[in-house]
């Protein structure tokens, strides 16, 4: 503000000084009657006055422009400033419009944010509900697993009782066997020792009666435990997986003959399956086997070369008595698989199939029976590995008395001996596995289940 007053005062003083000087110069020129540029003296004085005024104006402008930067800017850049001002106003209007648009979008975004928060709250509520449902499901699963563990424990306990009862039954059977053997020997000596053995025979018979009664009770327990085991673990299974529905030997020379033979064996297998799964007296026969045409074609191609094959029709899964799909008469649902093996010679007559060593001087009757069972198990296992299809072992043509006499003779030997299982005839793939047992000690045959070979 003070600078402005000083500037105005300087301009006034400078103008006054220059005007005074111009007037003095003009008067001097007029009195001297000078002439410039061939002008008259008056015109020359007028020109001097004009030049003096121009100097005053120029000095004023120079002073103003030199002192005030804003004045210089206002005079020389006014149009540019006006253009910049108009552009700034335009930009301001555009910025206001953009601000309005942004505020509108902000309001829309806030509305969307509110909607999103509501949806998020709904999702959180649904998630909480799902978590609670999951927790309930986990609780039910834990409860179900606990029940399953209890059931498995009950099953293991029942199996243990079953094995214990079977062991007791085996022990009682052994005792009965040896008591019966003692009774037979006592009866043969009655003529010589009747007076001395009457009481022993009576006591042994009473013991035998008690053991037989105990055996009957144990057999009932075994049956009951087996039924419990089946009810707990297997249910009422009519057909087990890979159980044979038909087993036989086929020799055909053409695909047509093979197809006819397969149709016949499938009819028999279908009858067996229907009788096992739906045992209804007088029920009409219907197709229950679910057959694969490709499997039948492969079987036809397999056995059509004129060789002798052992053919089996096996159940592909477990099926219960009263299977719904069978009882309701729906489409065939019992799946089967086929097995065809060449019926070749596995063992020749007289071939040794299995051997075990027993020291009867240091073994109980139960131990002898265990060794006998182990020998039969190893014999059957080896035969199956070699290709035997059947699972039947026949010793002494199934005569139990011969087997008991053999075991009694082995026990009475009271020494170390070797028991051999020898093929009693040629054994092929289809079986059965017919063997005889021979007990040998130091090259001497102590006992033999082959009656014909042991007779003189």
Rounded CA-CA distance 73/85 in Å is: 14
Is there a domain that residue 48 lies in?
A: yes
How high is the pLDDT of residue 273? 84
* Percent of residues, the chain, with pLDDT higher than 70: 73
Residue where a domain stops, chosen among 305, 326, 343: 343
Which pLDDT belongs to residue 72?
67
In a domain, 415, yes or no: yes
Same domain? For 245 and 339 the reply is yes
The model's confidence at residue 224, banded by pLDDT at 50, 70 and 90, is very low
Q: E strands along 301-412, which residues?
A: 308-315, 319-320, 334-342, 345-347, 352-359, 393-395
Query: 3-class DSSP state for residue 306?
Result: coil
Whether residues 339 and 244 share a domain: the answer is yes
Question: Among 371, 378, 374, 370, which Cα is nearest to 354's?
Answer: 378
Residue 4 has pLDDT above 60, yes or no: no
**Of 100-104, 107-111, 227-231, 373-377, which range is least confident?**
227-231
Helices (H), 68-189: 69-76, 78-188
Q: Which residue has the tokens 């199939």?
A: 353
| Residue 383 covered by a domain | yes
Question: What DSSP assignment string belongs to 63-98?
Answer: HHHHH-HHHHHHHHSHHHHHHHHHHHHHHHHHHHHH
pLDDT of residue 233: 47
> pLDDT digits over 265-310, tens only?
888 888 888 888 877 765 567 888 888 888 888 888 888 888 888 8
- Average pLDDT of the chain is 76
Who has greater pLDDT, 9 or 456?
9
**Could you check whether the bond before residue 356 is cis, i.e. omega within 30 degrees of 0?**
no
Kindly indicate the confidence band of residue 247, based on its pLDDT and cuts at 50, 70 and 90.
confident
**pLDDT-derived band of residue 231, with 50, 70 and 90 as boundaries?**
very low
**pLDDT score, position 146:** 75
Residue with tokens 């219960």: 320
Within-domain flag for 222: no
> At residue 35, does pLDDT exceed 60?
yes
Cα atoms in the 13 Å half-sphere on the side-chain side of 48: 24
The count of C-alpha atoms lying within 13 angstroms of the C-alpha of 448, restricted to the half-sphere facing its C-beta, is 13
Write down the pLDDT at residue 210. Answer: 66
Among the ranges given (228-242, 283-297, 357-371, 389-403), the one the predictor scored with the smallest mean pLDDT: 228-242
Closest among 345, 335, 331 to 315, alpha carbons compared: 335
Task: In whole angstroms, give the CA distance from residue 188 to residue 206.
Answer: 19
Strand partners for 340: 311
Question: Do 367 and 450 have their domain in common?
Answer: yes
- Same domain, yes or no: 317 and 372: no
Does 139 reside within a domain?
no
First and final CA of the chain: distance in angstroms?
A: 159
Please, which pLDDT band fits residue 232 given cuts at 50, 70 and 90?
very low
Average the pLDDT over 174-194 and give the result.
67
pLDDT confidence of residue 456 = 41
Q: Which phi and psi angles does 177 have, rounded to 5°?
A: -60, -50
Go through 243-273 and write b for each residue having 16 or more CB atoms within 10 A of its CB, e for each that does not: bbbbbeebebeeeebbbebbeebbeebbebb
Residue 226 reports pLDDT greater than 60:
no
What is the pTM assigned to this prediction?
0.42
Boundary residue ending a domain (313, 328, 343): 343
Q: Judge whether residue 358 has pLDDT over 80.
A: yes
Beta bridge mates, 339: 312
Does residue 168 form part of some domain? no
DSSP string, 217-230: HHHHHHHHHHHHHI
> Does 303 reside within a domain?
yes
Question: Measuring CA to CA, how many Å separate 325 from each of 288, 328, 329?
Answer: 9, 5, 6
Considering the domain boundaries, does residue 380 fall inside one?
yes
What pLDDT is recorded for position 75? 62
Q: Which residue has the higher pLDDT, 379 or 391?
A: 379
Structural domain including 334 reads 237-343
* Residue 316 pLDDT: 84
Q: Which of 343, 366, 386 is the last residue of a domain?
A: 343
Residues 309 and 364 in one domain: no
Residues 250 and 308 in one domain: yes
Number of structural domains in the chain: 3
């Amino acid at each position: 503000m003070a600078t402005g007053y000083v500037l105005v005062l300087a301009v006034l003083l400078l103008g006054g000084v220059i005007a005074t000087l111009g007037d003095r110069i003009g008067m001097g020129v007029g009195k001297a009657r000078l002439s410039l540029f061939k002008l008259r003296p008056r015109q020359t004085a007028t020109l001097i006055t004009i030049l003096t005024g121009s100097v005053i104006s120029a000095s004023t402008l120079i002073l103003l422009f030199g002192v005030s930067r804003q004045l210089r800017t206002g005079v020389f850049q006014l149009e540019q400033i006006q253009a910049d001002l108009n552009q700034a106003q335009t930009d301001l209007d555009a910025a206001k419009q953009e601000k309005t648009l942004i505020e509108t979008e902000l309001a829309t975004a806030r509305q969307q944010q509110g909607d999103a928060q509501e949806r998020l709250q709904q999702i959180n509520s649904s998630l909480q509900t799902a978590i609670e449902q999951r927790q309930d499901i986990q609780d039910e699963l834990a409860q179900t697993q606990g029940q399953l563990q209890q059931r498995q424990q009950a099953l293991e306990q029942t199996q243990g009782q079953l094995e214990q009862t079977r062991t007791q039954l085996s022990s009682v059977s052994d005792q009965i066997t040896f008591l019966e053997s003692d009774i037979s020997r006592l009866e043969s000596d009655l003529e010589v020792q009747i007076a001395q053995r009457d009481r022993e025979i009576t006591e042994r018979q009473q013991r035998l009666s008690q053991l037989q009664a105990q055996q009957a009770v144990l057999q009932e327990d075994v049956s009951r435990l087996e039924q419990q085991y089946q009810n707990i673990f297997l249910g009422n299974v009519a057909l087990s997986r890979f159980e044979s529905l038909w087993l036989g030997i086929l020799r055909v020379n053409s695909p047509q003959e093979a197809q006819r033979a397969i149709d016949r064996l499938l009819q028999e297998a279908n009858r067996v399956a229907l009788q096992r799964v739906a045992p209804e007296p007088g029920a009409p026969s219907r197709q229950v086997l679910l057959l694969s045409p490709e499997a039948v074609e492969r079987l036809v191609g397999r056995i059509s070369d004129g060789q002798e094959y052992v053919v089996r029709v096996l159940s592909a899964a477990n099926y219960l008595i009263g299977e719904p799909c069978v009882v309701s008469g729906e489409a065939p649902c019992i799946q089967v698989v086929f097995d065809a093996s060449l019926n070749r010679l596995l063992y020749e007559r007289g071939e040794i199939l299995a051997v075990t060593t027993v020291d009867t001087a240091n073994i109980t009757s139960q131990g002898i029976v265990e060794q006998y069972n182990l020998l039969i198990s190893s014999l059957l296992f080896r035969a199956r590995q070699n290709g035997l299809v059947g699972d039947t072992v026949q010793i002494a043509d199934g005569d139990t008395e011969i087997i008991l006499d053999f075991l009694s003779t082995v026990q009475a030997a009271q020494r170390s001996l070797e028991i051999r299982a020898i093929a009693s005839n040629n054994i092929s793939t289809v079986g059965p596995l017919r063997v005889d047992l021979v007990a040998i000690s130091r090259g001497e045959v102590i006992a033999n289940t082959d009656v014909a070979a042991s007779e003189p």
